């Protein structure tokens, strides 16, 4: 292992999936900041005056709703989670999640969180306890929990330890270790009918387009690559899955041409040629290449689709022994009218007096099975195998809104004085024709049914155009999506062409 990264060891546990299981699903999901209720948080948005039991209830239940769509309501067998709060006030009693779940059996999470004031023994529980209870309430049964042993406080470079990776499985858990100056990479050793499967939960440094942060991600990738080399030295056909939010795109250097090399592809070795696994030219395959380019996307930034979430599999999952990836089973868990907005984008979590939404990332899913020992040949057959170069792909696709705009909601057709600041309207696209003005810091606002809404666009041309029109016209006419930002309702315009001609 690289000496500089020697301390960057991985969390580890050994587990057993149900003996009768022959096929199973794994989901990777960044839940966008699931925090506890103790009022102590390294993010100012999650103090007691801004984040209430109602917020946590909605957040946990919405995550459970999404996971409940997998496998006809049974839920995934393994869930790799990102952005679960590192408990800032650890319970000295060492209460186990299984013991707590037993103690509240027969009560729903809503009932538990409805007591006011909330008892200290509830308020001080870690965030993951509430999520596990929400999953039970949703009928998914009981998951076992594995978390890295990351204490609150700061990393060696002074940055606060805020969120962690978690693995949920229908398994039992064991020990953990640490990663230097970064979120711990969590390693789980599962046993599926006597066949080992190693799962890694990752959440690399954010800022995909920032060269300085890419250097930090290269350290993440080097740590993980070192551990993989150890595994593959022992067994070149080991069954391994790398999951989580890598804060990198599968075509990272194409998206950011100033990057000479990328952490995810050049250091870790992720790539898009399935046939290279059989030939031994590569030991990892990125499942994004299972989808056509126009279907690739788990997040949206500045109106462009991204692929920050990943499921990357080892060559051992393609042979005819042990476990196998189920060919072409990879998918994005985007459910219209649930966690996807009318434009097909993630319906992100929104706080405020009316909490709503899910996450700024879609979960991604893959299925595995026990290999048929009677299959002929060493490698499983593939239908239309990908032979793509990770960087030789079409340009990044943008969100298309033509059909949605044609069916936008016109407030004039709704009951008079409708207050749209409710969860059922969040994420909807509107056709607005309303009085506008330029307010503080140059922010343009509109008045709709006696309520003032801010306007925002990531497109500078759109912001300038709105500002100019608001100075010269009594009304603005435009399409926009109803969003929330830091608890405030706003209308969001992805681009300047959402602004319509004004009288």
CA distance 391 to 194: 38
Name, in order, each residue with C-beta under 8 angstroms of 93's C-beta and a sequence gap of 6 or more. Answer: none
How far, in Å, CA of 415 to CA of 10, rounded?
A: 57
| CA dist list (Å): 447 to 67, 350, 354 | 38, 21, 20
**The two three-digit tokens of residue 359, written as one number:** 């996450």
pTM of the model: 0.85
Q: Are 367 and 25 in contact (CB under 8 A)?
A: yes
Q: Nearest to residue 160, comparing CAs of 267, 42, 26? A: 42
Q: What is the DSSP-derived secondary structure letter of residue 57?
A: H
- Domain boundaries along the sequence of the chain: 3-370, 402-498
Planar angle of CA 482, 487, 493, nearest 5 degrees: 30
First to last CA, the chain: 67
pLDDT for 348: 86
Number of C-beta neighbours around residue 104 at 10 A: 15
Residues in the chain: 503
- Tokens 């649930």 belong to 338
CA 408, chain centre distance (Å): 28
DSSP string across 307-342: --EEEEEEGGGGBSSSEEE-TT--EE---BTTTB-T
Rounded to whole angstroms, the Cα distance separating 372 from 366 reads 19
Tens place of pLDDT per residue across the chain (503 aa): 443 343 444 566 666 666 555 678 999 999 999 999 988 888 888 888 889 999 999 999 999 999 999 998 999 999 999 999 998 887 756 788 999 999 999 999 999 999 888 998 899 999 999 999 999 999 999 888 888 877 777 667 777 878 999 999 865 443 333 455 568 889 888 877 778 899 999 999 999 999 989 988 999 999 999 999 999 999 999 999 999 999 999 999 989 999 999 999 999 999 999 999 999 999 999 999 999 988 999 999 877 899 999 999 999 999 999 999 999 999 999 999 899 988 888 998 877 667 888 999 999 999 999 998 777 789 998 888 988 765 455 556 777 777 778 889 999 999 988 999 888 888 889 999 999 999 888 899 999 999 999 999 988 999 999 999 999 998 999 999 998 877 788 999 988 889 997 65
Token pair belonging to 185: 């990479």
Q: What pLDDT, on a 0 to 100 scale, did the predictor assign at position 436?
A: 93
E-strand ranges in 99-158 read 144-146, 153-154
- CA angle (321 as vertex; 320, 327 as ends), nearest 5: 50
Q: Which residues contact 240 (CB under 8 A, 6 or more apart)?
A: 197, 198, 199, 200, 228, 231, 313, 314, 316, 317
Helices then strands (H, E): number in the chain? 10, 22
| The pairing of beta strand 451-456 with beta strand 488-492 | parallel
Cα separation, 176 vs 149, in Å, equals: 6
Give the integer Cα–Cα distance in Å for 61 and 135.
8
Calpha distance 310→69 (Å, rounded) = 20
What pLDDT digit, counting tens, does each position of 348-393 carry?
887 766 788 899 999 999 999 999 877 778 999 888 898 876 545 5
Q: Which CATH architecture has domain 3-370?
A: 4-Layer Sandwich (3.60)
Calpha distance 210→258 (Å, rounded)? 10
Q: Is the peptide bond before 180 cis (omega within 30 degrees of 0)?
A: no
**Alpha-carbon dihedral 438, 440, 441, 444, rounded to 10 degrees:** -30
HSE, side-chain direction, 13 A CA sphere, residue 324: 20
- Spatial contact of 436 and 445, defined as CB atoms under 8 Å apart: yes
Residue 87 near residue 39 (C-beta atoms within 8 A): no
Helix or strand run (H / E) with residue 472? helix 460-472
Q: Are strands 78-85 and 23-34 parallel, antiparallel or unpaired?
A: parallel
Between CA 33 and CA 486 the distance in angstroms is: 13
Rounded distance, CA 57 to CA 50, Å?
Answer: 14
Task: Please check whether residue 446 is in contact with residue 452, taking contact to mean a CB–CB distance below 8 angstroms.
Answer: yes
- For helices 127-137 and 53-67, the axis angle rounded to 10 degrees is 50
CB proximity list for 172: less than 8 A, separation 6 or greater: 13, 15, 16, 144
- CATH superfamily membership of 402-498: CheA-289, Domain 4 (2.40.50.180)
Is residue 283 classed exposed, middle or buried when 0-12, 13-18 and 19+ CB atoms within 10 A define those classes? Answer: buried
Sign of CA dihedral 270, 274, 275, 279: positive
What three-state secondary structure class fits 279?
Answer: helix
pLDDT at 182: 65
């Amino acid at each position: 292992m690289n000496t500089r990264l020697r301390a960057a060891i991985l969390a580890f546990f050994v587990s057993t999936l149900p003996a009768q299981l022959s096929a199973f699903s794994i989901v990777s999901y960044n839940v966008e900041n699931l925090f506890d209720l103790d009022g102590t948080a390294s993010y100012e948005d999650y103090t007691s005056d801004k984040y209430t039991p109602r917020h946590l209830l909605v957040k946990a239940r919405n995550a459970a709703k999404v996971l409940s769509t997998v496998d006809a309501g049974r839920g995934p067998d393994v869930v790799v989670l990102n952005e679960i709060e590192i408990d800032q006030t650890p319970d000295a009693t060492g209460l186990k999640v299984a013991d707590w779940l037993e103690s509240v059996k027969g009560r729903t999470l809503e009932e538990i969180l409805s007591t006011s004031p909330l008892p200290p023994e509830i308020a001080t529980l870690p965030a993951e306890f509430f999520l596990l209870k929400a999953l039970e309430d949703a009928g998914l049964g009981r998951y076992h929990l594995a978390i890295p042993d990351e204490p609150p406080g700061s990393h060696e470079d002074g940055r606060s330890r805020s969120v962690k990776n978690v693995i949920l499985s229908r398994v039992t858990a064991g020990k953990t270790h640490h990663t230097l100056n970064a979120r711990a990479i969590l390693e789980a050793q599962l046993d599926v009918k006597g066949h080992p499967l190693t799962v890694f939960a990752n959440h690399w440094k954010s800022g995909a387009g920032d060269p300085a942060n890419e250097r930090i991600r290269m350290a993440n990738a080097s740590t993980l690559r070192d551990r993989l080399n150890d595994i593959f030295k022992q067994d070149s056909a080991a069954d391994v899955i790398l999951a989580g939010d890598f804060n990198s795109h599968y075509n990272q250097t194409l998206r950011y041409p100033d990057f000479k090399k990328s952490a995810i592809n050049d250091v870790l070795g992720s790539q898009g040629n399935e046939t290279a696994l059989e030939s031994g030219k590569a030991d990892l395959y990125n499942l994004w290449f299972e989808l056509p380019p126009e279907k690739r996307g788990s997040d949206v930034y500045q109106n462009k689709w991204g692929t920050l979430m990943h499921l990357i599999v080892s060559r051992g999952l393609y042979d005819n022994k042990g476990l196998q990836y189920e060919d072409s089973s990879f998918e994005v868990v985007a459910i219209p009218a649930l966690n996807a907005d009318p434009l097909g984008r993630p319906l992100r979590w929104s706080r405020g007096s009316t909490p709503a939404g899910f996450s700024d990332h879609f979960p991604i899913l893959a299925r595995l099975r026990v290999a048929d020992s009677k299959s002929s040949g060493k490698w499983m057959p593939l239908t239309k195998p990908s032979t793509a170069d990770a960087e030789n792909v079409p340009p990044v696709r943008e969100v298309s809104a033509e059909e949605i705009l044609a069916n936008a909601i016109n407030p004039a057709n709704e009951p008079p004085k409708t207050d749209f600041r409710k969860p059922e309207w969040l994420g909807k696209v509107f056709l607005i024709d309303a009085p506008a003005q330029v307010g503080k810091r140059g922010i343009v606002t509109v008045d709709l049914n006696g309520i003032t809404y801010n306007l925002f666009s990531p497109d500078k041309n759109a912001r300038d155009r709105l500002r100019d029109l608001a100075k010269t016209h009594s009304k603005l006419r435009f399409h926009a999506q109803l969003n929330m930002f830091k608890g405030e309702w706003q209308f969001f315009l992805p681009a300047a062409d959402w602004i319509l001609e004004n009288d």
